[in-house]
Amino acid sequence: MRIKWFSLVRITGVLLVLTYHFFQAKFTGGFIGVDVFFTFSGFLITALMVDEFAESNQFRLLAFYGRRFYRIVPPLFLAVILVLPMTVLVDHDFVTNIGWQVAAALGFTTNYFEIATGGSYETKFIPHLFVHTWSLAVEMHFYLLWGLTASLVAKMSRYRSASADEALVQFRKLLITLATLLATGSFLAMNLGAVGLTDFSPVYFSSVTHSFPFFIGCVLGILSGIRYQLTAFKWVSQHCPRNVAIGLMILSFSGLVILGDRLKFDRLQTYQQGLLAATLLAACMIYGARLLHDQTPTISEPRWMTFLADISYSVYLFHWPLYVIFSHRMSNWVAAILTTGVSIGLSALSYYVLEPVIAGKPVHIFQCNVNWKKLRLPTMVAIVLLGVNGESVVKAAPPVSTLEQNLWISGIRQDVNLIQSTHTAILANTGPVTTAGEKTKVHVPTGVSIIGDSVTLGTRDYLGQHVANSTIDAEGDRTMNLADQVLIAQQRNHRLRQDVVICIGTNALDGYRVQIMKLIDALAPGHRLIFMTPYNAQAQSDWNSSKLAVFEWTLPAKYKYVTIADWEKVAGQHPAVFAGTDGVHFGGVHAGDVLYAQVINQALKVARTKPCK
């Protein structure tokens, strides 16, 4: 039994995700499309479980796993082997560690692989081609757990009941209790686990913290059902006006779009309220579609709607790696359009031809019957050729990207320099003491102290050679409050030089104003302060990094010893420096090294015409 208008739920989910990936800087919360899919999967799977138990007084676990396998694995395998040859279109860095990515995708462990490797859709480095399969991992974990749970509950219900009707009641009661407990536990784990995080990927990717949408869908599936509804829900389905059902779907859809526009991946409220709100709206939309199905017995879904719904899963699989590849070869709009077209074509091939053939079902293509016997030879040849190509791509893939390698080497050299400078400072401060037993007054050393984040770390070697008499302390993911700690530590150890350059801001937190003022207050007399404005090619005016740059420009008027180095402006004038990067880092790109050093040196010239603090 196919429920009409469920297609709109699937289409909504895939549209939210595609819009987020294509226009991440503008539609910042579209990742909730995944929660729409999760909620719908929980609803549909559990409603079908109830139907099966109502009809046969049992639940066939192996048959359930088999259906999930044939629906999930073939298009995933097809996506992997078709994408790998296309990596020739992009820089070699894009296949970094590709073997582990493929293994994680096919082994349904991508979510924990991404947690372990620091992956994210909003990664600061080269995006993983199969990062999006994290959701398949969570979904597969749900199917394994919930299928086994339903099987055990079915056996228990039969054992404890005297009749089939009583067993069905027991089956529903036990499932809804377990689903409610699991949904509550998962949501609380996300809500509490997100506290104190600056990178929310661990709670977003985890099967433990992000499975509550499935179980909320399960509760709805048990209550409203498909064939076998509870009496109260059956009465509502029979008496609910059509316009009410339509209105519920429209309001739910509108709410999801608003959330997609407002939520941000790096905000705590997204994980404490936002994802739950998206899940509840998805549940309302699902129930609205369920009601509308019963109110439109003579109306059929448009063919385009069922087509898009049928291929939505495969479109999700294909679109991300294709978009990553295309977007680094052409403009974003062209890449988005091409990605959508190619994804739909490959998804239709997978859903209407390959998947049914693999499952042993006949296929009709242009009035011709196609079966496995006819497709066996060309399919096997294609798989072998693609497999050989994929193996060569995996073997040739570098273990780390050029940018990551550059950062690691720079970090090691920085640690060596820090040890040497600390040793020198210790020797310098063991000199004569006064009669009172105190050390002689330590003067502020001349030169430049640069305190930066991963952008600075990536160009550290070049800076050290082209910013005279400078020391550099840079670290990935450093925020302004951490820069304050570095500054204080260097002052305490008498290593902070006269001109202090703060190259922090891309990872700006909400309290950036307070953090900057604490840093200014902590700066001892005898120093000048230079703030380097942050640059992110994707940043919008409401991003913290953008607002921080605006605030930094107000400081020189209040503090004569403060100067601004306008990296934001200069970097924006040279987009070629960031070609093929994340729009923030340029480590290893010589032109970027040169520009970065020039901006700092120009600001130092201006700063040295001003007084010290």
pLDDT digits (tens, 9 = 90+) for 488-503: 988 888 889 999 999 9
Range of the domain at 493: 402-431+439-607
**Paired tokens of 398:** 């570098």
Q: Pairing mode, if any, of strands 562-565 and 499-503?
A: unpaired
Predicted local confidence at residue 529, as pLDDT: 96
Three-state secondary structure of 360-425: CCCEEECCEEECHHHHHHHHHHHHHHHHHHHHHHHHHCCCCCHHHHHHHHHHHHHHHHHHHHHHHH
The CB density around residue 338, as the number of other CB atoms within 10 Å, is 17
The CB density around residue 156, as the number of other CB atoms within 10 Å, is 14
- CA distances from residue 133 to 113, 338, 491 in whole angstroms, order as listed: 11, 21, 47
Q: Over the stretch 438-494, which tens digit does the pLDDT of each residue have?
A: 444 557 889 999 998 888 888 888 888 999 999 888 887 788 888 888 899 888 888
**What is the distance between the alpha carbons of residues 467 and 251, in angstroms, rounded to a whole number?**
58
- 456 in a domain, yes or no? yes
How does DSSP classify residue 95?
G
Predicted local confidence at residue 481, as pLDDT: 81
Q: Over the stretch 275-308, which tens digit does the pLDDT of each residue have?
A: 999 999 999 999 999 999 999 988 999 999 999 9
Domain shared by 98 and 196, yes or no: yes
**Paired tokens of 335:** 């890449």
Q: What sign does the dihedral 277-283-285-288 (CA atoms) show?
A: negative
More confident residue, 534 or 386: 534
Does 90 have pLDDT greater than 80? Answer: no
Q: Over the stretch 322-373, which tens digit does the pLDDT of each residue have?
A: 998 898 888 889 999 999 999 999 999 888 887 777 767 777 766 677 666 6
What is the rounded average pLDDT for all residues in the chain?
A: 86
Pick the closest to residue 219 from 170, 177, 165, 279 (CA basis). 177
**Paired tokens of 407:** 């950062």
- 34 in a domain, yes or no? yes
Does 432 have pLDDT greater than 50? Answer: no
By the 10 Å C-beta count (0-12 exposed, 13-18 middle, 19+ buried), 435 is classed as exposed
More confident residue, 202 or 422: 202
Predicted local confidence at residue 381, as pLDDT: 77
Q: Yes or no: say if 606 and 450 are a contact pair by the CB < 8 Å rule.
A: no
- 612 in a domain, yes or no? no
Q: Rounded to an integer, what is the distance from CA 388 to the centroid of its chain? A: 31
Q: Pairing mode, if any, of strands 499-503 and 448-452?
A: parallel
Q: Over the stretch 33-63, which tens digit does the pLDDT of each residue have?
A: 999 999 999 999 999 999 999 999 999 999 9
Rounded to a whole number of angstroms, the distance between the first and last alpha carbons of the chain is 77
**Paired tokens of 414:** 């920085």
Q: Yes or no: say if 565 and 602 are a contact pair by the CB < 8 Å rule.
A: yes
- 445 in a domain, yes or no? yes
| Position 428, amino acid | A
Q: Yes or no: say if 565 and 533 are a contact pair by the CB < 8 Å rule.
A: yes
Predicted local confidence at residue 228, as pLDDT: 84
**What is the distance between the alpha carbons of residues 323 and 327, in angstroms, rounded to a whole number?**
6
**What is the distance between the alpha carbons of residues 519 and 166, in angstroms, rounded to a whole number?**
69
Does 580 have pLDDT greater than 80? Answer: no
Domain shared by 235 and 219, yes or no: yes
Predicted local confidence at residue 380, as pLDDT: 74
| Position 543, amino acid | W
Does 537 have pLDDT greater than 70? Answer: yes
By the 10 Å C-beta count (0-12 exposed, 13-18 middle, 19+ buried), 280 is classed as middle
Q: Rounded to an integer, what is the distance from CA 449 to the centroid of its chain? A: 35
- 576 in a domain, yes or no? yes
Domain shared by 368 and 347, yes or no: yes
Does 579 have pLDDT greater than 90? Answer: no
Domain shared by 155 and 70, yes or no: yes
Domain count, the chain: 2
Domain shared by 390 and 490, yes or no: no
Q: Rounded to an integer, what is the distance from CA 415 to the centroid of its chain? A: 31
Q: What is the CATH number of the domain that holds 526?
A: 3.40.50.1110
Q: Over the stretch 1-26, which tens digit does the pLDDT of each residue have?
A: 678 899 999 999 999 999 999 998 78
Domain shared by 387 and 426, yes or no: no
Q: Yes or no: say if 147 and 64 are a contact pair by the CB < 8 Å rule.
A: yes
- CA distances from residue 321 to 317, 327, 491, 538, 589 in whole angstroms, order as listed: 8, 10, 48, 19, 24
How does DSSP classify residue 563?
E
Domain shared by 337 and 444, yes or no: no
**Paired tokens of 440:** 């002689």
Ordered DSSP codes for 159-195: HH-SSHHHHHHHHHHHHHHHHHHHHHHHHHHHHHHTT
Predicted local confidence at residue 434, as pLDDT: 44
- 1 in a domain, yes or no? no
Domain shared by 414 and 334, yes or no: no
Q: Over the stretch 328-337, which tens digit does the pLDDT of each residue have?
A: 888 889 999 9
Q: Over the stretch 71-83, which tens digit does the pLDDT of each residue have?
A: 899 889 888 988 8
Split at pLDDT 50, 70, 90, the class of 433 is very low
Domain shared by 233 and 176, yes or no: yes
**What is the distance between the alpha carbons of residues 241 and 237, in angstroms, rounded to a whole number?**
9
Q: Yes or no: say if 449 and 501 are a contact pair by the CB < 8 Å rule.
A: yes
Domain shared by 419 and 550, yes or no: yes
Domain shared by 413 and 391, yes or no: no
- 613 in a domain, yes or no? no
By the 10 Å C-beta count (0-12 exposed, 13-18 middle, 19+ buried), 541 is classed as exposed
Predicted local confidence at residue 45, as pLDDT: 96
Predicted local confidence at residue 50, as pLDDT: 94
- CA distances from residue 388 to 73, 222, 375, 514, 556 in whole angstroms, order as listed: 20, 46, 20, 56, 61
By the 10 Å C-beta count (0-12 exposed, 13-18 middle, 19+ buried), 438 is classed as exposed
Domain shared by 366 and 482, yes or no: no
Query: Helices 372-396 and 61-83, interaxial angle, to 10°?
Result: 60
